[in-house]
Amino acid sequence: MWVLVIGSSAILQRDDGGLAVLKELGCRVQAHDLWDDLDEPAFLEDPPAAILVEALDQFDAGRAALMRIRAVAALAEVPCLVAVSVGQAQRLDGNDGFDDFVLVPYVPAELYMRIRRAEWRRSEFAGKERIKIGPMCLDLAGHEVTVDGRVIDLTHQEFALLKFLSQNRGRVFSREQLLNRVWGVNYYGGSRTVDIHVRRLRMKLGPVADPIETVRGVGYKMKAP
């Protein structure tokens, strides 16, 4: 696992800074100044597993760095953590865009755990028994959906629709196709049934349902990774 660490030159050189702590933890690291150009071609081929912005007492500078990070295509979806001093913790806001935060001075085990947790939340994979899309995980064998570990109560057909779309990401299906493939050819309900179930999924799943897209005039799809 490699981590991109962003901060002022003085902070980056500290013996107890993120760069030094992550090296001791066995991570591959690369440092950039808060105002460096981040649009490196190498990031396209080998993006970092996570980004640590060492804002400390300069929270506004950290927020500005995050905006620059998200403007770089190769880094736009990389989980990003901000390191702040205790005095700046009260300024943290869920709308700032960071995946998580960590207080300094660092506790190495906590820093590593928070990085891995942020990486896990954004990771995606599909297997025979599990499908993970961001913080949402479908347990196909257990017929269960969780978001950040919290079980979401879905009906049988809501789960079936979510499962089908998740197993066919990037493909658009008409309402009639979804009725046939999810409800079965013997189902006599109208196409509005699909709209109702999609709406219920969005209500129950909240923001994690964003990958379910409505394709105007066609139907629905689960956005490709």
- pLDDT confidence bin for 191, thresholds 50/70/90: confident
pLDDT tens profile 193-203 = 999 999 999 99
Structure confidence at residue 13 (pLDDT): 86
More confident residue, 139 or 149: 139
Confidence of residue 59 (pLDDT cuts 50, 70, 90): confident
**Are 2 and 28 contacting, i.e. CB atoms less than 8 angstroms apart?**
yes
Question: Position 99: which residue type?
Answer: D
Band (pLDDT 50/70/90 cuts) for residue 24 is very high
Distance CA 138, CA 146 (A): 7
What pLDDT sits at residue 149? 84
Half-sphere exposure of residue 91: CA atoms within 13 angstroms, side-chain side: 17
Q: Judge whether residue 34 has pLDDT over 90.
A: no
Last residue within a domain, chosen from 122, 143, 166 = 122
Instruction: Please determine, for residue 204, whether its predicted confidence score (pLDDT) is greater than 90.
Output: yes
Residue 185 pLDDT grade (very low, low, confident, very high; cuts 50, 70, 90):
low
Which residues form the domain of 18?
Answer: 2-122
Cβ-contact 89, 101 below 8 angstroms? yes
Q: What is the DSSP letter of 88?
A: G
Are residues 114 and 38 located together in one domain of the fold? yes
The residue among 143, 117, 147 whose CA lies nearest residue 132 is: 147
Domain boundary among 122, 144, 170: 122
CATH number at 81 reads 3.40.50.2300
